[in-house]
Structure 1
């Protein structure tokens, strides 16, 4: 019997959202330029993505992670998720745009509103569950100086987003993001654990934590014969603040194996 994540969903901080411990990252369904993956890949067709989404649901995944910066990801997901909106917790982002193979950033309140309205249209939905600021690395100045959090809190009041936070790159940014927001997406893996104070703060203040780059390549630090995927999940899910780790795969076998590994680890911890 395949191990699944059914029955293992957890709260995303105090948002009232319940999310699967693994989320499906969708950069690879919308963009194959300027992405840092060790191997090349082909953007899958609609039938393949539809199958991947169905498999994700069968495996107990209800969290889907997208962004305007993921090329055509949002535009493709809208039609593919028709009739299933209530089955998914959708995370999208604001601040980073991707055009003609290049990224640029705009954190202004006006662009924030435009971007969210556009994401709602693309995703064919009335609301986005979690909207994260897609940081360029200047986390603190974005949050302090751009007015973006004010714009997001207005959009939340209007019901267009259920919660907001930061996908950042620094401890200071993560802490600031959680002080006034609902969630932070942080890098936390076998090679990189310097953002752990953000997880600790989230645990103390009932804030949501999403993990990016959970399966960072570079498993040389492991003992021979140790399973890098399992070791990664053991590290991540040992921290009680973690709500979900985003896994960006378009390979059904990898997805199934990752889910089985995460489910086993979580059951062992519990």
Structure 2
């Protein structure tokens, strides 16, 4: 398994590690073990440049990540290099720190148009429904249908859901291109979704690969062990890892490459 991988049958090729950007846009209501400060523009530009130099081409954002989309639109150079994943459904208020959800097809269209503007691009590589946990209810609301219509219109290259249940992940893959699932050393309940994707050549992105920084006491090098497990699983495209620490980024890429046998 190489470091650059196909994302199912989407036609997109992604690095085995993608950069998650919640920390460049939002510092309220997040579940990381340590406090952090949102980096300034120069630090974000350097982090993106470092990511690219280390071989990454995948970047993950969302409207729920505060100012993340807007900042990427201003600071991301060379749009063609990047596979950009964003989401619809969850909204975040930077002032109050509260989230709310809107899965209506109307909101999907509004949200995608806003993401295109914020990200300063005329297409989105992948847009996922940002589930609130009630995956099947959301799918029944026509949320994914609305995304698929925007895909037909040429605004989106791949659609799917950041799901929270096995049934929701599998149903997503039957209707769309990609599921983003939780998978790590201590959580493999969603493995059936990955297996379903592998059997049908659908795309899988992994979230919470290191349990949002809570993987302590899981062996000598929990990050390497988690990478080995995840990237050695057939069907996995990429791990989305959110970091604003250049040293962590470098170490994560080294470990991902090692897990890919490079």
**Contact persistence 2:215–2:222 (CA under 8 A):** no
Name 2:116's counterpart in structure 1.
120
Three-state SS of the structure 2 residue aligned to 1:19 is: strand
Structure 2: how far apart are the matches of 1:208 and 1:75? 26
Spell out the pairing of 1:43-62 with structure 2 (5 A cutoff): 43-62=38-57
Report deviation, 1:88: 0.1
Name 1:256's counterpart in structure 2.
250
Structural RMSD (CA): 1.2
Structure 1: how far apart are the matches of 2:259 and 2:89? 35
The correspondence for 2:238, drawn from 244, 250, 255, is 244
**Contact persistence 2:128–2:162 (CA under 8 A):** yes
Three-state SS of the structure 2 residue aligned to 1:219 is: coil
Name 1:179's counterpart in structure 2.
174
CA offsets 1:212-267 (integer angstroms, 9 cap, x no match): 00112133342xxx211110101101111100000100000000001001101111
For structure 1, which runs of at least 5 residues remain unmatched after alignment?
1-6
Equivalent pairs counted in the alignment come to 258
CA offsets 1:89-124 (integer angstroms, 9 cap, x no match): 000000000012100000000000000000000000
Structure 1: how far apart are the matches of 2:74 and 2:217? 41
Report deviation, 1:149: 1.4
Structure 2: how far apart are the matches of 1:221 and 1:243? 24
Three-state SS of the structure 1 residue aligned to 2:112 is: helix
Structure 2: how far apart are the matches of 1:238 and 1:34? 33
Three-state SS of the structure 1 residue aligned to 2:84 is: strand
**Contact persistence 1:210–1:246 (CA under 8 A):** yes
**Contact persistence 1:190–1:219 (CA under 8 A):** no
Three-state SS of the structure 1 residue aligned to 2:151 is: helix
Structure 2: how far apart are the matches of 1:253 and 1:8? 19
Structure 1: how far apart are the matches of 2:232 and 2:243? 23
Name 1:104's counterpart in structure 2.
100
Name 2:151's counterpart in structure 1.
156
Alignment of 1:205 with 2:200, yes or no, is yes
Alignment of 1:91 with 2:85, yes or no, is yes
CA offsets 1:51-84 (integer angstroms, 9 cap, x no match): 00000000000000000000000000001114x1
Structure 2: how far apart are the matches of 1:140 and 1:263? 36
CA offsets 1:169-196 (integer angstroms, 9 cap, x no match): 1000000000010000000001111000
* Runs of 4+ residues over 6 Å off in structure 1: none
TM normalised by structure 2 equals: 0.96
Report deviation, 1:154: 0.8
TM normalised by structure 1 equals: 0.94
Name 2:63's counterpart in structure 1.
68
